[in-house]
Amino acid sequence: MPGDLGPIGIWTFALDTVPATVAREMVAEIEELGYGAIWLPEAIGRDPLVASALTLAASDRVKVCTGVASIYARAAMTMTSGWKPLSAAFPGRFLLGLGVSHQMAVEGMRQQTYGPPLASMRAYLDAMDGALYVGAEPAVAPERCLAALGPKMLELAADRTRGAHTYYVPPEHTAFARETMGPDALLAPEQKVILETDPAVARELARANIGYYLALPNYANNLRRLGFTEDDITQCSDRLVDAIVAWGDVETVRARVQAHLDAGADHVCLQVLPFDDPIRIRRDWQTLAATLL
């Protein structure tokens, strides 16, 4: 089942930044290293369903998940007509992660109206469930999960899907999510990683890669719920950087992964930074796998 993702996967923008031939090589490396899943985002790169098909075809065992596909990027019928054929072609290997994205992206880049997140997601799931689809149904039931941070979206994820993919969160949020969703729902937090032991260098790299997210209300509001102050958020404080990014040596990363697992995570998706340096990322994937896997 896609829910059986193993304890550690890779979440990455990097496959979008290289030619398809190189991306296939990187996928094969991730699988050979022993990671359980590859998580592919939707932003301004490759279409995540197309990218998922390419990634699944370039591998034999690793699970492939969208982290996440925006409900504003395609109609519910269109999403269903991508989700089911991929699930049929690669039984038990594809997990469709869905998210409401952000008002800035939806109304800015996509020129659409951003609706209330919870109501919009609930309506979208209803529309997917009722969508007309006359293709052959997958032999193994297709699975989906939701990007979720707040309690109501986490509850919806547990009630209507396999579970939740949480992003930009410390282990404290993982504990909150597990308590909210109960013991049975999938919980797969993303964890940003920088293998750099110099604090100044590490935090500079971290801020260059995480500062943008603080302008997005979904993430800023979640940080406030967790007790971060306005100064933490507006200044991207050391406290916030250290909570969101596991920087240091491999043992530091191991401890952070274990903190998520101890807090109730089933699977931790490592996003190695900086994402636009594929040579460094491939090296760091290998270094992490040698110790963590």
Q: Which class would CATH give 8-292?
A: alpha beta
CB 174 within 8 A of CB 125: no
The confidence score (pLDDT) of residue 1 equals 52
pLDDT tens digits, one per residue of 56-107 = 999 999 999 999 999 999 999 999 999 999 999 999 999 999 999 888 887 8
Decide: residue 131, CB within 10 A, 0-12 exposed, 13-18 middle, 19+ buried.
Answer: middle
9 vs 45, higher pLDDT: 9
pLDDT band, residue 2 (cuts 50/70/90):
low
List phi, psi (to 5°) of 260: -65, -45
Residue range 116-137: mean pLDDT, rounded? 97
Q: Which tens digit of pLDDT belongs to each residue from 202-241?
A: 999 999 999 999 999 999 999 999 999 999 999 999 999 9
Q: Does residue 124 carry a pLDDT above 90?
A: yes
Which residue in the block uniquely carries the two structure tokens 């260098």?
Answer: 201
Q: % helix / strand / coil in the chain, to the nearest 5?
A: 50, 15, 35
Closest CA to 196 of 279, 236, 252: 252
If phi > 0 it is left, if psi is from -120 to 50 it is alpha, else beta; for residue 150 that is beta
The pLDDT of 46-57, averaged and rounded, is 97
- 60 vs 99: CA distance, rounded Å: 27
291 closest CA partner among 209, 193, 151: 193
Residue 145 near residue 95 (C-beta atoms within 8 A)? yes
Check if the beta carbon of residue 37 is closer than 8 Å to that of residue 9.
yes
Q: Is the pTM of this model over 0.85?
A: yes
Give the number of other Cβ atoms within 10 Å of residue 167's Cβ.
27
Mean pLDDT of 37-42: 97
> Domain boundaries in the chain?
8-292
pLDDT in tens, 134-192: 999 999 999 999 999 999 999 999 999 999 999 999 999 999 999 999 999 999 999 99
Residue 3 has a pLDDT of: 55
